[in-house]
Each structure stands twice: as C-alpha cells, then as structure tokens.
Amino acid sequence: MEYKHGGDVFGYSRKASCPVQQIYDFSANINPLGPSPAAIKAIQDNLDLIRHYPDPSCSELRSALSGYLEVSPENMIFGNGASELIYLIAHALKFKTALVAAPTFIEYGEAINCAGGEVKEIMLQEQNDFALPAARVIKALPGSDVIFICNPNNPTGRVENRSIIKSIIEHANNNGVYTVVDEAFIDFTESGKQLSVMPLLNKYPRLLVLYSLTKFFGIPGLRLGALLGPAEIVRQLEAGKDPWNVNILAQIAGKAALTDFDYMDETIELVHREREFLYRSISRIPGLKAYPGNANYLLVKILKEGMTSTQLVTFSARKGVLVRDCSNFSGLNNCFIRVAVRTRKENVILIGALTEAMKGD
C-alpha cells in the first residue's frame, strides 16, 4: 500500500537497513523536543494499568482538556488521532459535498470520498502566498454540506486571522453548511489563543473544531485528537465510533501533558527561533525558495530546472534525512517539498543535505 504522508521512519528503516534512531525525520511535523516529560513520567508511573480496558469516555482527559481549552466537557469527543475523527465526521454526518481550499491536508478529501461524497476544490494561489480567499470561498459555499479549513494550513504553514475564518463560518452557518476548522498545529503559533475559533463554538451550531495532542505534545505513536462541537453532534458521533478507540496510555499521557506549561513555553520559543533560522538558511540555498510559515514546518519550492521533488527527497534520504514530497497534494506539483522545524543541530544537518542535493553532489 502506498504511504501518502510523511513520518514513515519504520518503512525507510527497513528499506535502508538503518536503525530508526539514526534517521533525521523532517517529513513529519512533530514537536522537536519529543514527548512532554510529564507525559513520559505519567506513562512510566501507570504502566500497570494496561491490564485494564481504557476508559471509553476518556473522563479524566476530558476534564483536563476542558479546562485547558475552556470548552465544556460535553462538547468534545476523542479519537485515535484527529484523522480518525475526520473519517468519523464524514461517515456519521453523511456529507455528500465538501468544499476544500487546496493545497491542504489530504485526509479531508479522502474521508469524504471514502464515505461516498464529492469534493469541490478552491485552489489557493501561489502568487498570493497561498492565502485563504474568503470571498471566493463564500461564493462557492451554496450546494456544499461542509467546508474544511486547516489553520495553520498544511502544507503551506500559513495561518489566517480569526476574523477571516469567522466570516466564512458565519456565511456557511447561515446557508446550512457545516464548517470544520482543523487547528492541529495552532499551538505551535505564537498567538494560538487569539487565532483559534474555539471561542465561537457557542455562537455557531454548525461549527466543528479539530484539535490534536499528537503533534504539539510529541506523542504521534500514541495517537490522540479531539473534536469540539455542539453537544448533540458529539452524541451522534459518539454513537458511531468504536467504544475503546483511545488507548489508556494515550489518555494518561494527554492528561499529564496538558499540565506541562514549561514544556509548552520552551516549545513555542524553540519553534519560533528555529523556524526563522530554517527560513533564512533555505532561502540562501541556490535553487530553493522557502515560504514564510507560522507553524512548525515550511513549504519549499524547487526552482532548479530539471530537479523534481522526488529526486530531492530521494537524495536527502540517502543522507538519512527525510523530507516530505508534496507532489501528491492537490494544487501543488513535483516542485514542492515540506520540511519540519527541529532542533538547531538537526536543522543544520537538513541544510547540509539540501545544499548538497542542489549542487548535485
């Protein structure tokens, strides 16, 4: 089966006969600090609980996330990663037509298609730095059942102000269209609270917000995401999901991570500093263009004639450096890659691999 995403370190490890620990993975957008120390300790202290089934209602995690996000507990449902919830939305709410602004996260369209629906795309324009065109989106809303908005957008890294997204939510709500805003990477931004549309949940009954604990808290191997929305929709989704979809260690780790404020502050500071370093460094490499980003990754365009994203990805992989080939994103082509922001030591290694690749060494 073809793997559509980044982060396949185990596949590369098998292919290259290289230990996972020796791979520099810039293809997956995960906290460069690794898991929250509080989460690690909580797992170690509670390993014996794996003899029990997990709490199907995620009660303790629900209470912790409710306080952290300031959203009522009855307005949230948990998933084995946010991706599971995207597919659950598509199947349980039976959306026939979905609107997406491409390029964006692949799984919105995949989920709708898998549920038998149709996807309409509005193409983001490179010359406008892939900005979300609110007027065009609003004009395209009639005839749709749902619109998916990723903020910050993946793979472009661009973040939109709450006011722009609010205008779309309002028009969608007034036209009977649901809005799903995916805020999986919003914690990596310096002003996530001001950007998030979660404060609008009580005002718009057709607004759903996706939240990920996997990426910011560095636990992709545990898989943990949440969906915030009206209580009646949450109940409908609860009825359609597997009863034990969130394992007990994910629940324990998530609850603990939400208390680790020093780790959160250190993450935001590191990502901001290293994102700027990566942006400047990549921009100096002849044949590459980095786009400004607001999350923990950057979109990069290959300007060198005759060099494709597949070639660049293959070259860097030989150096043990994995980057994301963006050629399978609708709206992009084989001239784009995406790189995650990691530690300075790792980022220097990435820059070296990209520089060598563009020289053709």
In a domain, 2, yes or no: no
Judge residue 321's burial from the number of C-beta atoms within 10 Å of its C-beta, 0-12 exposed, 13-18 middle, 19 or more buried.
buried
Residue 178 above 50 pLDDT? yes
3-state secondary structure of 325: strand
pLDDT bucket at 1, cuts 50 / 70 / 90? very low
- Tens of pLDDT, residue by residue over 214-242, are 999 999 999 999 999 999 999 999 998 88
Q: Are 148 and 99 in contact (CB under 8 A)?
A: yes
Does residue 332 share a domain with residue 190? no
The pLDDT value recorded for residue 243 is 86
Residue 194 lies in a domain: yes
Q: Is the pLDDT of residue 360 over 90?
A: no
Residue-wise pLDDT tens digits, 320-353: 999 999 999 999 999 999 999 999 999 999 999 9
On whether both 121 and 233 belong to a single domain, the answer is yes
Q: What is residue 18's predicted lDDT score, i.e. its pLDDT? A: 66
Q: How confident is the model at residue 2 (pLDDT cuts 50, 70, 90)?
A: very low
- Who wins on pLDDT, 105 or 240? 105
Question: Are residues 91 and 73 both part of a single domain?
Answer: yes
Q: For 229-257, what is the mean pLDDT?
A: 94
Q: What is the pLDDT of residue 16?
A: 61
Q: Is residue 170 a part of any domain in this protein?
A: yes
Please indicate, yes or no, if residue 4 is contained in any of the structural domains. no
- The pLDDT > 90 percentage for the chain reads 89
Mean per-residue pLDDT of the chain: 93
Structure tokens, 52: 């029990």
Judged against a pLDDT cut of 90, whether residue 10 lies above it is answered with: no
Identify whether residues 268 and 239 lie together within a single domain: no
Q: Are 211 and 82 in contact (CB under 8 A)?
A: yes
CATH of the domain at 313: 3.90.1150.10
pLDDT at 24: 87
Neighbour order of strands in the sheet with 76-79: 76-79, 225-228, 207-212, 178-182, 146-150, 97-102, 118-123
Q: Are 137 and 101 in contact (CB under 8 A)?
A: yes
Check whether 12 has a pLDDT greater than 90: no
Asked if residue 304 and residue 269 are part of one domain, the reply reads yes
Residues 203 and 169: beta-carbon distance below 8 Å: no
Enclosing domain of residue 146: 37-257
Mean pLDDT along residues 171-199: 94
Q: What angle do CA 154, 110, 213 make, to 5 degrees?
A: 50
